[in-house]
Amino acid sequence: MSDFVVTLNDKKKTVSFSNNSHLSLDNQKYECDLILLNAHTYLLKINERFFEVSVDKTGNGKYSLLIDGHQYETVIRSALQEKVSELLRQKSTAHKKTEVKAPMPGMILKIKKSLNDKIVKGETILILEAMKMENDLRSPCSGVLSEIPVKEGSAVEKGAVLFTIE
Amino acid sequence: MLKKILIANRGEIAVRIIRACRELDIKSVAVYSDADRKSLHTRLADESYNIGEPASSQSYLNKTKIIDLAKKLKVDAIHPGYGFFSENSEFIKLCEDEKITFIGPSSKSVAMMGSKTAGRHLMEKSGVPIVPGTTKPIDSLNEGIKSAEKIGFPVLLKASAGGGGKGMRRISSKSEFEDAFEATKRVALKAFGDDSIYIEKFIENPKHIEVQIIGDMHGNYAHLFERECSVQRRHQKIIEEAPSSFVDETTRAEITSAAVNAAKACGYYNAGTIEFLMDANKDFYFLEMNTRLQVEHPVTELISGIDLVKEQISIASGNKLSFGQDDLKINGHAMESRIYAEDADNNFLPSTGIIYEYKPPTGPGVRVDDGFSAGSEISVYYDPLIAKLVCWSDNRTNAIKRMKRALDEYKIAGITTNISFLKSVYNNNNFINGKFDINFLEKESGALHKFLEKENNKVNLENAAAIFTAMVKENSAVRKGNENANNSKPENKWIDLMYE
């Protein structure tokens, strides 16, 4: 059986299977059972405890889970894939760009910063009006505002890039 | 009694009203926009009509469409719920002209109380204490600055036509005034179609206490005690309870009689709410009157035993109140959590999407007023309220424990909700001990965040997530095997036994 690396909450956990119901997680052994309830819900039994898990598969080994009211985004790779992606990541961190996308469709009400402004993490870059509310969109990191492809008054779709911090 | 009611609303409140109609043997008519085909109210009503495009102005806020439909269907009455037309005196006037009963107060009372400045003026005249501030809308920036300086900073700028905390802004000094003045006007115009605003003294660290009142068309009034709604984010309530643990018997007697006086002052009938701010000395000030059913009405229903929606319908039919003040007493304690589609980690930003799994909690003392099911969509067009979870128990401590249990059972998958955030509040010692005011969430944000982080990093859940992901990936045979099992019909042993 094979080894996997699961990434969640910026942590990596290694799972290796002995057989269908026995596995070890970071070298700790567990007896597990997985039971399908309906298209989105499983029961997962780990040793003596049942968990109800809702899952939405988003593709590319990515899963969105709800367990006991907690949301987890997990990514699974085989041990080999994990090594490759680790190498790629090291290369790309040399020049870091952070894109902020629209979390929902809406209208750009006001842009508070200009191109090439120095930005401190948490500063409001623009105000997006959606769901009848004015929502401050803040920068997730410090850097320079290098791109801002939207204008005041323009409508944006969910997922549209609003600004880039470098 | 009324025979057929059109519900000019959506979401959980439309469902709540349809349920009351069902129990009263009244036919219910739902209306829905293109974005709400999969919402719950459309399928629970006896009849449902599409009223157009998702934007509220094209559907739920289109007076002509709704009145025309009501006339065509010959409904006896329209229930507005909260929001939308509930406090729109023009709409109520239209209903009155068309001889359609509006389940709410008269257009006259709403016009009197609807404008927050006129309301303040009326209260001052009737001897109800008000927060110091302007009793007239302010027209110019200069006039505003002058008034603010006279009242003394910090002040609040508020929309005259507003409610629910929308378009409210705190100003701590003269230099902030100009920006805030324009922004408040802009929000007011967009949200309420009226950009008049006024100034109020900012009361430091008050509690939000409100009194439920009710009156009939025969001049009978009663109050149904107070609610405390101090836990707010962006000036919007997220947790409400009844009674308030801060209000003693003397204060209760004072504040409830002030509320009844307020209702009498505007010749009010139907259910209404008088909102007050209460400072640390238990002095209270009139904030505003909501001339409609409140979102948080269920906590009052649970401690008083009165069904407010049925009572509204009965009053609108011309009946007298079904109870008197002396019939009422506070029974136990009730709490309500508003379940919102929003991301508490990201400045309470609303979230949208399709709910792929939905399972509300049940069991003793738990009530859920909801408006969606699995497959429903939370869209960008409306308020992100998904449901209200209401718990009752014999006292506040047990109500909190019950609420924690119920929140643990609540399952909504597919969109980000505030359920975990609500849990962090119910686990906070200051909240548990009743030591909180309207700035609670801001003051405690560090502690709440810490709790959430700890919860989200629970090792056993993280392990479960990791093991689950690996098992689904590795063992797709599990899925296949079970799907086959599901397709084969289970044998019915009873049939075999019957022929034995």
As for the ipTM of the complex, it is 0.74
The answer to whether residue A30 neighbours chain B at the CB level (below 8 Å) is yes
Tell whether the model's pLDDT for residue B12 goes beyond 70: yes
Q: For B413, which of A34, A54, A131 is closest by C-beta distance?
A: A54
Please state the three-class secondary structure of B56-73 as a single string.
HHHCCCCHHHHHHHHHHC
Measured at the alpha carbon of residue B424, what is the angle toward residues B39 and B451, in degrees to the nearest 5? 135
Helix ranges (H only) for B317-369 are: none
Per-residue pLDDT, averaged over B358-375, amounts to 97
| Chain-chain contact of A72 with B465 (C-beta, under 8 angstroms) | yes
What pLDDT is attached to residue B487? Answer: 47
**Across residues A30-57, what is the average pLDDT?**
93
Torsion sign (Cα): B129, B130, B132, B138: negative
What is the average pLDDT across A132-149? 85
B469 contacts A74? CB cut-off 8 A: yes
On whether any CB of chain B is under 8 Å from the CB of A160, the answer is: no
Q: What DSSP string runs through B209-252?
A: EEEEEEE-TTS-EEEEEEEEEEEEETTEEEEEEES-SS--HHHH
Backbone angles phi, psi at B390, to 5 degrees: -120, 130
B488, pLDDT greater than 50: no
Output the pLDDT for position B479: 47
- Mark yes or no for CB contact A69/B420 under 8 Å: yes
| Residue B486: pLDDT over 50 | no
Per-residue pLDDT, A52: 94
Q: Give the pLDDT score at A133.
A: 74
The DSSP H or E segment spanning B201 is strand B197-201
Residue at token pair 């302010």: B138
Quick check: A133 contacting B, CB < 8 Å?
Answer: yes
Specify the DSSP element, H or E, that contains A161. Answer: strand A161-165
Question: Residues near B230 by Cβ (< 8 Å), separated by ≥ 6?
Answer: B207, B208, B436, B437, B438, B440
Residue B425 or residue B496, greater confidence = B425
The C-alpha atoms of residue B467 and residue B265 are separated, in whole angstroms, by 65
Query: Judged by CB atoms within 8 Å, which residues 52-111 of A form the interface with B?
Result: 52-56, 61, 63, 65-72, 74, 76, 103-106
Q: How far apart are the first and last CA of chain A?
A: 43
Q: In the β-sheet with A161-165, what is the strand arrangement from edge to edge?
A: A98-101, A161-165, A143-147, A118-119
Pairwise pLDDT comparison (B460 vs B481), residue with the higher score: B460
Q: What is the DSSP letter of B490?
A: P
Give the model's pLDDT for residue B444: 96
Q: Give B107→chain A minimum CA distance, Å.
A: 26
Is B383 in Cβ contact with A9 (below 8 Å)?
Answer: no
Which one, of B311, B320, B280, B277, lies nearest residue B293 by Cα?
B311
pLDDT in tens, B91-115: 999 999 999 999 999 999 998 887 7
Q: Which two tokens stand for residue B418?
A: 């505030």
Pick from B130, B133, B120, B283: nearest CA to B200? B133
Q: Identify the residue among B234, B469, B476, B482 best suited for mutation to test binding to A, counting A beta carbons within 10 A and taking the highest.
A: B469
The set of residues, in sequence order, having a beta carbon less than 8 Å from that of B225 and lying 6+ positions away, is B211, B212, B242, B243, B252, B256, B300, B303, B304, B328, B330
Nearest residue, CB atoms, B357 vs list A34, A40, A136? A40
Q: Considering chain A, what percentage of its residues have pLDDT values greater than 90?
A: 37
Does A143 contact B at CB distance below 8 Å?
A: no
Question: Shortest CB distance from B380 goes to which of A63, A69, A104?
Answer: A104
Put simply, the answer to whether B473 touches A76 (Cβ < 8 Å) is yes
Active site residue B22: no
**DSSP letter string, B450-461:** HHHHHHHT-HHH
pLDDT of residue B165: 65
Q: Is residue A12 exposed (0-12), middle (13-18) or buried (19+ Cβ within 10 Å)?
A: middle
Say if strands B77-79 and B101-102 run parallel, antiparallel, or are unpaired.
Answer: parallel
What pLDDT score does B168 carry? 82
Residues of B with Cβ-Cβ distance to A65 under 8 angstroms: 465, 468-469
The maximal CA–CA distance of chain A, rounded, in angstroms, is 58
pLDDT band of B335, cuts 50, 70, 90: very high
Residue B7: partners with Cβ closer than 8 Å, 6 or more residues away = B14, B17, B18, B21, B28, B29, B30, B31, B41, B45, B78, B79, B81
- Hunting for tokens 């009372």 — which residue is that? B109
Chain A residue nearest residue B416, CA to CA: A71
Region A22-31: what's the mean pLDDT? 94
Each residue's pLDDT tens digit, A59-68:
788 999 999 8
Terminal CA-CA length for chain B: 57
Query: Phi/psi at B68 (nearest 5 deg)?
Result: -60, -45
Asked if B374 and B354 touch (Cβ cutoff 8 Å), the reply is no
Q: How far away is chain A from the Cα of B345, in angstroms, using its nearest Cα?
A: 12
Cβ–Cβ gap A32/B467 under 8 Å? yes
Read off the pLDDT of each residue in B143-152 and give the average, rounded to a whole number: 89
The active-site residue, picked from B16, B120, B292, B338, is: B292
Nearest 5°: CA angle at B408, between B407 and B411? 80
Among partner residues B347, B423, B465, which is closest to A8 by beta-carbon distance?
B465
Mean pLDDT of B30-42: 96
Please name the member of B346, B456, B474 whose beta carbon is closest to the beta carbon of A70: B456
Question: Residue B130 gets which letter from DSSP?
Answer: B
Q: Which two tokens stand for residue B5?
A: 């009611």
To the nearest whole Å, the CA of B23 is away from the closest chain A CA by 33
Mean pLDDT for B207-211 is 98
Query: Do B463 and A66 make contact, defined as CB atoms within 8 angstroms?
Result: no
Q: What is the mean pLDDT of chain B?
A: 91
Closest CA to B2 of B67, B72, B76: B76
Residues on chain A touching B423 (C-beta within 8 angstroms) = 69
Residue A134 binned pLDDT confidence (cut-offs 50, 70, 90): confident
Q: What global pTM score does this model have?
A: 0.83
Report the alpha-carbon distance of residue B131 to residue B121 in Å, rounded: 11
The first and second tokens of residue B189, run together, are 């115009």
Dmax (CA) for chain B in angstroms is: 95
Of A9, A46, A54, the CB nearest to B464: A46
For A16, which residue in chain B has the nearest alpha carbon?
A: B470
- Which of A43, A131, A134, A152 to mutate: most B Cβ within 10 Å? A131
Query: Which of A104-113, B284-293, B483-492 has the weakest average pLDDT?
Result: B483-492
- Those residues whose C-beta lies under 8 Å from the C-beta of residue B443, and which sit 6 or more positions away, are none
Q: What is the pLDDT of residues B277-310, one digit of tens each?
A: 999 989 999 988 999 999 999 999 999 999 999 9
DSSP E strands, B123-182: 155-159, 169-171
Question: Chain A contacts of B356, Cβ < 8 Å?
Answer: 40, 54, 56
Chain B: give the shortest CA distance to residue A90, in Å.
Answer: 24
